[in-house]
Amino acid sequence: MNQGNKQYRKVQIKTANKGNLILLLYRGAIKFMNKAIEQLQQKDLEGKGNSLMRAQDIVLELMYSLDDKMLGEGNPLAVNLQSLYLYAYRRLVHANVHMEVEPIEEVIALLQNLLDAWEKVVASEGSNADHDSPGGGGQGSLVLTG
């Protein structure tokens, strides 16, 4: 990535709201997993390992972005997302250790489904003029939980 793209990405991340950050994380994880598949097929084991570790780090970041209060209260959405992220993380570790494509493809499909859902949530939040920001806490406001 050239210097201009890196600068653009930094500004994009620093200025994004939480919903858009979640979208960036999903897209980044999927990008690194696709890259890992290519590298595995090309027998670039070091590259595959690096790409999968970056995807694993992103999955962990998604898990850390979950609302602690909602998790503590046993909110089904937050708890289910936490379980999905832990599962995805374990599958990526398995893929890395055993050099298998199938677990990576499984996690890509899982995260793609979540990305599609989040894109709809973020789009609907952006179109609601009465909401200051996603998770803003107002009446009827949606709390984004990674």
What domains can be seen in the chain, in order of their start residue?
19-121 (1.20.120.340)
DSSP helix/strand/coil, 132: coil
Q: Answer yes or no: is pLDDT of 28 > 50.
A: yes
Q: Which of 104, 139, 100, 124 is nearest to 29 (CA)?
A: 104
- The rounded mean pLDDT for the chain is 85
Calculate mean pLDDT across residues 68-85. 96
| 115-142: pLDDT as tens digits | 999 999 999 887 664 443 333 333 334 4
Q: Please, are residues 62 and 25 in contact by the beta-carbon 8 Å criterion?
A: yes
pLDDT score recorded for residue 16: 60
43 burial level (CB within 10 Å; 0-12, 13-18, 19+): exposed
Q: How many CA atoms lie within 13 A of 141 on its CB side?
A: 15
pLDDT at 9 over 70: no
Structure tokens at 75: 């909110």
Q: What distance in Å separates the CA atoms of residue 31 and residue 29, rounded to the nearest whole number?
A: 5
The rounded distance, in Å, linking the Cα atoms of 36 and 31 is 9
Q: Rounded distance, CA 73 to CA 86, Å? A: 19
By the 8 A CB rule, do 48 and 36 touch?
yes
pLDDT surpassing 60 at residue 91: yes
| pLDDT (tens digit per residue) in 94-121 | 999 999 999 999 999 999 999 999 999 9
Query: Is residue 57 predicted with pLDDT exceeding 80?
Result: yes
Cα-flanking dihedrals φ and ψ of residue 47, to 5°?
Answer: -60, -45
Helix, strand, or coil here: 136?
Answer: coil
Q: For position 130, what pLDDT does the model report?
A: 42
Across 30-50, average pLDDT: 97
